[in-house]
Structure 1
Amino acid sequence: MPGAAWPSPQQGWPPQQGWQPQPGWSPQPGWPGPGWQSAYDWNDPLVNPPGAGVGGWFARSWAAARRSWRPLLPILLLTQIAPAIAVSLVAVPFEAEALAEPATAEVTTGDLRLMLGNLFVYYGVLLGGAVLAAVVQAIGWAAGFRVLAGQAAGQPVSVGDAFRYGVRRAPGLWAWSLLVGLIIAVGLCACVLPGFYLAFALSMTLPVYVFERRNPIGRSFGMVHTQFGMALGRIAIIVGLAVGCSLGVVVLQALGIAATGGSLTGPSTLTPGYVVVTVVATVFFLPAYLLVQVGLLTTYAELRGSEAPVTTTRLAGELG
C-alpha cells in the first residue's frame, strides 16, 4: 500500500489537480508515473482509478447492476438459467439408473458392470449437456458484457443487439471457456488447491477475450498477478456473495423437494413437483449470475486501469 503521503478518503479524496506525494514516496511496480491522477476520470462508470479502493469498485459494480439489470434479465434467463434447467432435468432418468441399488445383497460381476456402465452414461450425459450448454452460456457472457459496457458508455443497447453480438463472439468464447474448465478440472484433481488457484488466475479469461481477443489465458494470469492482492480481494467478494446466494437457493430447493414428496438422499424422480421446484429454484440463481457478470467486468476494468489509464468509452469501443 502507498505510504503516509497517500491522501486519505476523509481528507479530500480523490486527489485534486496538482497534488503531489511527499518526497521519498514512490508507487508500487506497475502503478502509473507522475501526474497519474490527472490521467484518470474519477467519475468513470466502470473503471475504478488506482487508490480508490474497494469502496469505489463496489459503488461502480452496484451502479452497473442497477443501470443494466432490465436487459440483463432476459439474457441471463435464456442463456444461463434455461440451459441449467435443461441439463438438470435431462439427467434425472440417468441418475436414477446410476444410483440404483443391486437387486440382491450379493453383487455379481454382471451387477458391477451394469452399475459402472450406468455411472458412465450418467456422467457422460452431464458432461455432454454441460459442453452443449456452454455454447448458449457463451452467448450470454458476451451479450451481458455488451450491455454493461455499452450502457455505461451511454450507448443504446437493446436485447436484440446484445444477442447478435453474443452469437458473433460465442464460438471463440466457448472454446476458451472449455479450455479453462479443463485446466481447472485438472487442478482440482491435483489435491484440489491447485484448482482453486487456477480458477482465480484464469478468472479474467472471458472478459479479456471479449474485449481484447488476444492471448486471454496469458493475459488473465498477468493481470491478476500484477495486482494480486487487489484481484484476490475482488474475486473473493464476488465468489463469497455468489456462494451465499446459491446456498440459500439450495436450502429452499431441498425444502421444496421434501414438501413435494421427493427424496433428498436417494435418486431424484422426474415428477411434476420435482420439475416445478427445479425450475423455480434455478430461476432464484439469477442474482448470483448477475453478481458474477457485473463483478468480473468491473474487476477487469479496474485491472486494465491499473496497467494504464483507460475509460469506459474505450472499453465499449473495443467490443467491436
Structure 2
Amino acid sequence: MLAVWSGLAVCHGWFWRTDQRLPPLVPPRRWPSVAVVVPARDEAEVLPTTLPTLLAQRYPGQARVILVDDNSGDGTGDLARGLAASAGLPLTVSTPGEPPAGWTGKLWAVAHGVAEAGAVDYLLFTDADIAHGPGTLEDLVMAAEGGRDLVSQMALLRAETAWERLIVPAFVYFFAMLYPFRRVNSPRARTAAAAGGCVLVRRTVLEEAGGIAAIRGAVIDDVALARLVKSAGGRIWLGLAETVHSVRPYPRLADLWHMVARSAYTQLRHSPLLLAGTVLGMAVVFLAPPALAAFSWPAALAWLLMAATFVPMARYYRRPRASGLLLPLTAFLYTAMTVDSARRHWLGRGARWKGRHYE
C-alpha cells in the first residue's frame, strides 16, 4: 500500500497538485469572434444568477450568447429573454425540438447552438448553472490564441453543506486522478479530458474532427469532446478555475449520490469486469490503509501520504488540511455510488437526467 501511494504521488502525472491554471495570457492582435452556447433544460432556478454573468462579459471582439432552450417546462426560454433586456452581449434564445434517436438531449441542443452560431472563430460551451467572472471569455480566448484548440476550466463547485464539503472536493480529486491535468495538457500524452461547464473550442478544428455529431450519443460529453479534438491532432488544455463557479446546489447526500450514480457505470463502459476491478482497486488503495493502520506502520504511512496528497485540493476548496484523512470514507461512498450506478443500468434505469433516460 505504501509503495502504491508512493507511486501515485510521484509517478502519476502529479495529479494531486492544483497548479494547472490558465497559462500566461497575451492579448492577440485581432480579437476573434466567439459564440457562447448554453444548453438549458428546466434551468429557471439558476439562470437569474448565471446568465447575467455571461451577458456582462468584457470582451474586446465580437461575441454573442446563444441559449438553447431544450424543451423546458419551467419557462426557461421566456426567463432568458427577460434577462436579456439589460445591456450586454446580444442574446439569442432558440428551441431545437426533441432530439433524434441516438442523440443525447444536451448534445442535440449544443449542435443546434453551433449551427445558430455560424462561422465564428471560437465556440464557448458552458452549462446553465455556471457563473463566470467578467473577464472569463477574454482570458479563455487569450489562452487559446497561444496555440491551443480547446481550453477548459473546471468550475469551482458549490461546497457549502456538510455533504458537499465532504464529497465535492474529493470529486475533483478523483477526476484528476483519472485524468491527470498535466497529461491532458501534454501533446505527447494520449490522456484527454475537459470540464463541460466551461469549454472553449476552435470552430474549424471541431468541424474537421467531425463536429458535435461525432459524439452525439455521449453521456460524458466533455471527455468525449476532448478526446475527439485531441485525436484529430488538436492541442487541448484543462485546468482549475478561479472565477468560474457552479451555483447548482447538492445539499443532500441523495442529490450528490444521483449526480455520481447516473454516469459512473458509463465511465466504466458498462463492463462488469471493469466494475469489479474498480471496487477492488478502491478497496486496496483507499480503504485498506486506515483499516490496517493500527496493525501496520506501512499502512499508517500510506494513509498519511494519501491525506497529504489531498492537502492542495483542500486548500483550493478552503477546507482544513486534515480533511484528507476522511478520503477513505469518501472513497467508500463513491464506490457504493458506482456499484449503484451499475445496479441502475442492469435494471434499465441507468443514465437519467431531467426526465430523459439514455441506454
TM class, shorter-length: under 0.3
Higher percent of residues as strand: 2
Higher relative contact order, chain-length normalized (CA < 8 Å, sep 6+): 1
TM-score where L is the length of structure 2:
0.22
Computing the radius of gyration over CA atoms, which structure comes out larger, 1 or 2?
1
TM-score where L is the length of structure 1:
0.24
